[in-house]
Copies of this chain bind each other. A is one copy, B any other.
């Protein structure tokens, strides 16, 4: 039901401009408070132009979310430590950086849970699946605790995502960000289990300068 891709170079640029304008609008006011003419106003175009490239407000919204998900994926791809837990720590840190530095964009992502939960979960399911594969392997190697790797994956995502929702609200500046990452990474590593055996990990994390971030 989506419109065919633009055929001319000019069309490509127009569509992209509309997409950017829509992202700004949705970020500023949220899906329901934005009208199609808000978007075309923001893009400096006539209303009619919108319907050359998108069928619907929902149609652009999906395209915007798709774009944001790709950006987030890109942003997280960097995390590539060899150590399992260190990698988690790094991923969590990166996720929080994204959420807190671009809160409006992150909010659009979360809004998709309400507007179209399919695209919301489709994204996380993709992440969960690749997580789960790695977790399964790690279990086989006795590197991590046993349990359904898929559910473990969702636990990991839960922490990143919900802390993102929580801390992208008011902004999360440097020292606090590090504290969140540190405690949450320990939680991921050891849960609430007693005995602070997390020291070596935390030290290695510090040494490698992971959470130095933003």
A189-206 interface bits toward B, Cβ cutoff 8 Å, 1 = contact, 0 = none: 111111111100000000
Cross-chain contact of A85 among B30, B146, B151, B192 (Cβ < 8 A): B192
Cα(A102)–Cα(B109), bound, Å? 24
Cα(A151)–Cα(B197), bound, Å? 19
Q: Min CB distance, A18 to chain B, in Å? A: 20
Cross-chain contact of A193 among B124, B144, B158, B159 (Cβ < 8 A): B144
Q: Min CB distance, A172 to chain B, in Å? A: 11
Please give, as numbers and ranges, the residues of chain B lying within 8 Å of A145 by CB-CB distance.
186-187, 190-196, 198
Q: Min CB distance, A19 to chain B, in Å? A: 21
Q: Is the CB of B192 within 8 A of A88?
A: yes
Report the stretch among A9-17, A64-72, A74-82, A161-169 that lies at the interface: A161-169
Q: Is the CB of B189 within 8 A of A193?
A: yes
From A151, which residue of chain B is reached at the shortest CB distance? B183
Please give, as numbers and ranges, the residues of chain B lying within 8 Å of A180 by CB-CB distance.
148, 151
Q: Is the CB of A192 within 8 A of B84?
A: yes
Please give, as numbers and ranges, the residues of chain B lying within 8 Å of A1 by CB-CB distance.
none
